[in-house]
Chain A
């Protein structure tokens, strides 16, 4: 187990390193001058020169990248804005705040949205999927399957504004979604996030319904399930103890991928509901051409994805004893 974790972590570090090179080249190596954008309309050549120097953009690209890497690992005191302890992604061009600090500020909203949404969509999705498989071929199954098909074809950028328009702007049942600290006011935290949770989990749950159903049906055709039934075990016992466990494996894989990408910033959801999370931060940093911030979000998000993948692979060993981690 330990060896597996170590090897996978090393692999993840290599991928992150390569990703940082690609992202760095993409943002800093292109024929686009971030200083020019910062400098604005009233830009004199001297100002521009000065900005280049302050931002370290007058150095060759490999050197810039090297400085970025050493700052990341060791921290740096060379920034004009003040010291920057490791992990140092530098200072934002736009707000002049530390990138790492900004990321940590935005993380709680994203985590709240993701975990709350995940609870909703796992319970609803797996529940309806199981019921559909249990009642396979009946009207219940057909309703669930058809419903899941249609809902999973919806997009957050349609369902989100629709929910907002109906629940907030037209009927005023709810307040506009907002993020409040859980520690300060749990009630406001919950009521501010309920619409985003429901919208996010409606769309995700429908995918899990379809997956859980087909995976269950596949498992029910396995030989060990048939043997258990033939031995005289009750349908319910076989269903819940035998088939359920086997059907979890593909679901865990997808759940890991979904969780990772949501934790790295549920971009469209956060943007739709105006939640101050990582995804919205990414969109903002694109609009302001805030390269250090963008690079920070990107690497952070990739780390989340890779981390979740490793956790998922490790979780296999617990669910499926046949899997050997080597």
Chain B
């Protein structure tokens, strides 16, 4: 499996690209420190000579210079380079958390449904059907304020971690069903195999059978689905922040940079700014999707592309 994956050149390269993004996210504070800036400094106040009266950087290409590698953000004048680093960090952190939560839920409910069968299976399957009928994006934007209001009263300032938790919660709630359904099917098939019967006959309790016999056999669909799910969560989270219900300024976030990029100020005066979040996200998503394909091919060489 590992050997098969290593032979797939596209897969290895995209794995490096994906790893690079995670590393950047992880090391954002270190890189920013070496670079000597942080994403919270309002350069429009600190260095007003760099901006014109509308808040657009004076220098061409969005104020790109040796000092500000990716330029300055129109409006408040944040440093784009560090903002992007921290934005990637926020988005990836949230998406990884959502992926972990959905995978755990998917395993728990999917394997339970498949292994126990009968009534448990029936009800879990109905819940999956029901949740799949939800208008997901609409549900996300509608429930974000509600979930936030569970933690803080509407009159108070919402702390950042509450928004992060709320984002994770709503995406998790409607994110686990596809994996759950797949795991149910796989477990259902596994249950009929001889080695499970053998384990049962030898007196193993159900918990042990699930842990020692079933789980090792469903690692493949989990990994494959996981690599498909994570980029989706990244774009969904960015979409929410773009609409203004996710992470809001001044906390840096990938999606919120897109929101900034779609303001009239930027579209009119500073097209360069758009490309930093845009291109970086395309590279990340393409690499992750290619990685997903390679992982699937490595685990399951029979399916042709």
Contact = CB atoms under 8 A, between A and B. Distances in A.
Main secondary structure of the interface of A (DSSP, over half): helix
B103 to A, nearest CB: 22
Given A36-B154, A155-B238, A305-B135, A214 B267 contact: no
A157 interface: yes
Nearest to A176: B264
A153 interface: yes
Given A268-B242, A302-B135, A286 B145 contact: yes
- Among A155, A164, A261, max chain B CB count under 10 A is at A155
A214 B231 CA distance: 21
Contact of A164 (B136, B267, B278): B267
Interface stretch (B41-49, B197-205, B255-263): B255-263
Interface stretch (A26-34, A46-54, A67-75, A193-201): A26-34
A169 B258 contact: no
A267 B137 contact: yes
Nearest to B271: A165
Contact of A268 (B149, B239, B266): B239
Contacts of B17: none
Interface string A278-296: 0100110011010000100
Nearest to B288: A153
Given A169-B267, A272-B262, A282-B142, A155 B281 contact: yes
A306 interface: yes
Contacts, number: 127
A285 to B, nearest CB: 8
A166 B278 CA distance: 15
- Which interface class (under 10, 10 to 19, 20 to 34, 35 or more) fits A? 35 or more
Nearest to A34: B154
A37 B145 CA distance: 13
Nearest to B286: A153
B272 to A, nearest CB: 10
Interface in B134-186: 134-139, 141-146, 149-150, 154
A306 B135 CA distance: 10
A162 B142 CA distance: 27
A19 B133 contact: yes
B125 interface: no
Contacts of A214: 305
Contacts of B2: none
A161 B258 contact: yes
A117 interface: no
A325 interface: no
A153 B279 CA distance: 10
A306 B134 CA distance: 9
B285 interface: yes
B133 A305 contact: yes
B138 A30 contact: no
B138 to A, nearest CB: 5
Interface string B270-287: 010010011001100110
B101 interface: no
Q: Please provide the 6 A-B residue pairs with the shortest distance between their CB atoms, ordered closest to farther.
A: A161-B262, A153-B285, A165-B267, A158-B278, A32-B149, A301-B135
Interface of A: 15, 18-19, 23, 26-27, 30-32, 36-37, 149-150, 153-155, 157-158, 160-162, 164-166, 168-170, 214, 217, 261, 264-265, 267-268, 271-272, 279, 282-283, 286-287, 289, 294, 297-298, 301-302, 305-306
22 contacts: A15-B129, A15-B133, A26-B142, A31-B149, A149-B289, A153-B231, A154-B278, A157-B238, A157-B242, A157-B259, A161-B261, A165-B266, A165-B271, A168-B267, A264-B135, A265-B135, A267-B137, A272-B262, A282-B138, A286-B144, A294-B142, A306-B133
